Amino acid sequence: MCQGEMKKAISASRRTDLVAFFTRWLAAAIRQEKARVHSPSGHSFIADLSPRTVHTFVLWSKDYSHLLENHHGLRDGLKKYDQVYFHFTVTGLGGSFIERGVPEPDTALSQLEGLIAIAGTPRRISVRLDPVVHWEEEGLAKTNFHFIEKLAGKAHSLGITDIRTSFAQWYGKAVKRAEKQNFRFLDPSPEDKREVARQLAQVARVHGLALYACSQNFLGEVPGIRPSACIDGKLLQELHPNREPLSQIKDKSQRQECLCTESVDIGSYTQICPHACLYCYANPRV
């Protein structure tokens, strides 16, 4: 890195669950301080993971057990970085036919204390009820949004301040997957979603949590909900132990409604996630 050049955020990863299923690969990349990344555009590049170039390592997962157990030295490897930030998705659907490969909710929530120990502060953890799913089963309409009560209560008890959410978006590949599995998903109207969002916001407010909507700006119309920058350069700069600067420019590689700031994502859609979530936008296997 040239003198005066700003360090960067590393994202691992929006595209697949590297922590849960590609622990060996991720640990080796951290040990070697570089990763070959196959981007969605089809080209590949080498990402520099040396601590002198990395401001914050942002991890995304539905299961941090391998990290907590230090599989392949992953936990030890992360100690070289100044800051690690965690996105932890717990939808309440783990172990069900909708998220077959995901830990059951209580098992997942039990990992939070260990993550706080690694992060150094609960402010470096955001829990995610993401997505909220609606479906029909045996003639009854069902949803997971009520899980907000348990998730928010647990987060508050541990000092976590941020919770993120969005509604399932049924892209073509997810629709085909649902049809193959005879899953009768429901897609509520925008007004119905806003009503659910109002209830989510009320629960978050009771527990003293800031609720953010991920890439669904229409939810910003609901009092108590803020548009999300899941990778937030301003926040990560504030939380950094040395307050080192980080880019606050919008990441142009993300969706238009995504407010994330610039980062380098080191995951690949070729690293196929076995969580098998029916609504998944990323998994290329239908």
Q: Name the β-bridge partners of 167.
A: 132
**What is the model's pLDDT at position 220?**
87
Angle at 89 between CA 85 and CA 91, to 5 degrees: 160
**What is the model's pLDDT at position 3?**
56
Report the chain's C-alpha Rg in angstroms: 18
User: End-to-end CA distance of the chain, in Å?
Assistant: 41
**What is the model's pLDDT at position 282?**
85
Show the domain range for 255.
8-265
Q: Compute the distance between CA of residue 277 and CA of residue 5 in angstroms, rounded to an integer.
A: 40
Question: Looking at the predicted structure, is the pLDDT value of residue 209 above 80?
Answer: yes
- 185 falls in which pLDDT band (50, 70, 90)? very high
Question: Per residue in 120-135, pLDDT tens?
Answer: 999 999 999 999 999 9
Could you tell me which residues come within 8 angstroms of residue 45 by beta carbon, excluding any fewer than 6 positions away?
36, 37, 39
Q: Is residue 43 part of a domain?
A: yes
- Read off the pLDDT of each residue in 61-88 and give the average, rounded to a whole number: 98
- Read off the pLDDT of each residue in 38-61 and give the average, rounded to a whole number: 95
**What is the model's pLDDT at position 286?**
59
CATH value at residue 15: 3.20.20
Q: Is residue 252 part of a domain?
A: yes
Q: Is residue 42 part of a domain?
A: yes
Question: Looking at the predicted structure, is the pLDDT value of residue 1 above 80?
Answer: no
Distances in whole angstroms, Cα of residue 3 to Cα of each of 7, 10, 248: 11, 20, 20
Q: Name the β-bridge partners of 87.
A: 60, 126
Average pLDDT of the chain is 96
Nearest of 113, 227, 105 to residue 166 by alpha carbon = 227
Q: Is residue 99 part of a domain?
A: yes
Long-range contacts of range 204-208, CB-CB < 8 Å, 24 or more positions apart? Answer: 204/148, 204/152, 204/163, 206/152, 207/152, 207/153, 207/155, 207/156, 208/156, 208/161
The answer to whether the CB of 164 falls within 8 A of the CB of 131 is no
Q: Is residue 280 part of a domain?
A: no
Q: Is residue 283 part of a domain?
A: no
Q: Is residue 81 part of a domain?
A: yes
3-state helix, strand, coil in the chain (%, to 5): 35, 25, 45
Identify residue 34 by its one-letter amino acid code.
Answer: K
**What is the model's pLDDT at position 5?**
86
The answer to whether the CB of 7 falls within 8 A of the CB of 53 is yes
Q: Which range has the worst mean pLDDT, 129-133, 156-160, 269-273?
A: 269-273
Question: Per residue in 79-121, pLDDT tens?
Answer: 999 999 999 999 999 999 999 999 999 999 999 999 999 999 9
- Kind of pairing between the strands at 140-143 and 134-137: antiparallel
- 41 falls in which pLDDT band (50, 70, 90)? confident
Q: Would you state the structure tokens that stand for residue 224, as one six-digit string? A: 């108590």
Beta strand segments in 76-124, E: 84-89
Q: Would you state the structure tokens that stand for residue 271, as one six-digit string? A: 């690293």
Q: Compute the distance between CA of residue 122 and CA of residue 159 in angstroms, rounded to an integer.
A: 6
**DSSP designation for 72:** G
Number of structural domains the chain divides into: 1
Q: Is residue 128 part of a domain?
A: yes
